[in-house]
Amino acid sequence: MDVREAVESFLDSRHTLSPATQRGYTINLTIFATWCEAHGLALEQLTAKHVRQFVEDVSKRPGLKGSEHLHSATISKYAINVKTFLAWCSRDEEFEDSVSVKVVNHIALPRIEQQVIERFTPEQLQALLRATDKQLYDVRDKAIVSVLIDTGIRAAELCGLVLKCVWLDSDDSYIRVLGKGRKEREVPLGRAARIALRRYITRYRHPKNEAEQHVFIARGGKPLTVHGLLQVIEQLGERTRIRDVRVSPHTFRHTFAVQFLLNGGDIYKLSRLMGHTSVKITERYLQAVNAKQARSSNHSVLDNL
C-alpha cells in the first residue's frame, strides 16, 4: 500500500480541523510520504524503527532564521503527526490490514527541550503601545496591542474575532473567541483594552463590505489575516528596536500568562482563559514565575556578609 495514498485519505478525514492544523498535517505528512518513497517503504513495511529514523533525519534539517537545527517542539510535532496518522490507519477499514496497533504503540515521541519563556518587560509593552501612534492605522493597531496584552489570545483568534462576540459594557467587558478544536471561550477585558477597542470599533473601523463582521480590518477594507497581523507586530518591533526578545503575537501571549500568575491569578483559571486542553500545558508558565521570583529574592551570599 502506497504511503502517499494513505496520507491523502487521512488528510481528507481531517477537514473539520482548523486551517492551521490541517496545513501542519499536510506539510509534515507530505514530507514523511516523500521520505518513505525515497527509502522504498510501503505502508505495510513501516515499523517504529522507521519512524524513529525519519524523525532523526528531520531533526538534522536547518531551522528558521538561520538556526542550525529545528526546535525540539517542531521535531516532536513531526513524530506526533506521523503517529496520529498511523494510528488512524490502524483503525480505518481500508488501511487496517497494513498497520498494526502494535507498531503504533511502539512509536516513542521525542522529548521537548524546556526553554526560557520569552516575554516583554513592562517598559517594552509601554514602548509598543506608544509605537502604535506612529503606525498608519494607529487606532486599530493600539486596539490590537491592547487586546493581545490584556487577553493573551492567539493570532488566529484575534483575526477571527467578530463583532457579535465583543461585549464592551463598563461593568462586564469581554470577548468570545474560537480556539483550537473549534472550542469557544470567553476572555475578560480590562478598562484600557475596552476603551481602545471601543474607540476603534465605533469611530475608525471601515470594512469594504458593510455586512463584514470581523472586528479587525486590513488595508482595502477586508478582514485582517494572520499574515497581516504578523506584519503589524513586526513593524512595531522595528519602531521600538526591541532586540532581546522576539516581537510576535505569541510573545504577547507568553507575557499575559506569566503576568497573570505574578499578579496572583490561579493557574486553573489561566488554563481556561488561554484555551489549553490540559493544565499541564499551562504549568510551564508557573515554572517561569517561580524562576522569576527566585531571581528577585535577595539571597546573594556576598551582599549579605
In the set 198, 276, 284, 292, the catalytic residue is 276
In the set 140, 142, 205, 253, the catalytic residue is 253
- Note if 239 is an active site residue: no
- Note if 180 is an active site residue: yes
- Note if 4 is an active site residue: no
In the set 52, 71, 250, 272, the catalytic residue is 250
In the set 50, 77, 142, 154, the catalytic residue is 154
- Note if 250 is an active site residue: yes
- Note if 83 is an active site residue: no
Identify the CA nearest to 112 among candidates 83, 77, 150, 160. 77
In the set 14, 52, 176, 180, the catalytic residue is 180
Known catalytic residues? 154, 180, 250, 253, 276, 285
